[in-house]
Amino acid sequence: MLTGDDYYVHPDHCSKFIQCTNGVAHVMDCPEGMNFNPNVRPGPVCDLPRDYPCIDD
């Protein structure tokens, strides 16, 4: 369960992330060819795959 106003990794897609606001989760997209990078704060930050490699499940 996601709690708090924050950004979370999407469980299936590197190019998506979950933005939780006031307890409501919204699936968001990074620009084409980019991956969500959960390590950069404040977020959301979408990076080039060479800067944040990720493999979709």
Mean pLDDT, rounded, for 6-21: 94
Q: Give how far Cα 46 sits from Cα of 3, 5, 22, 24, 43, Å.
A: 21, 18, 22, 21, 9
In a domain, 55, yes or no: no
Q: Which of 35, 36, 3 is nearest to 20 (CA)?
A: 3
- Predicted TM-score (pTM) of the model is 0.84
pLDDT, position 57: 61
How many structural domains comprise the chain?
A: 1
| pLDDT, tens digit (0-9, with 9 covering 90-100), for 34-54 | 999 999 888 889 999 999 998
In a domain, 41, yes or no: no
In a domain, 16, yes or no: yes
- Which residues in 1-57 belong to E strands, given as ranges? 6-9, 16-21, 24-29, 35-36, 46-47
Q: 20 is in which domain, residue-wise?
A: 1-34
Give bridge partners of residue 46 from the DSSP assignment. Answer: 36
Count, residues in the chain: 57
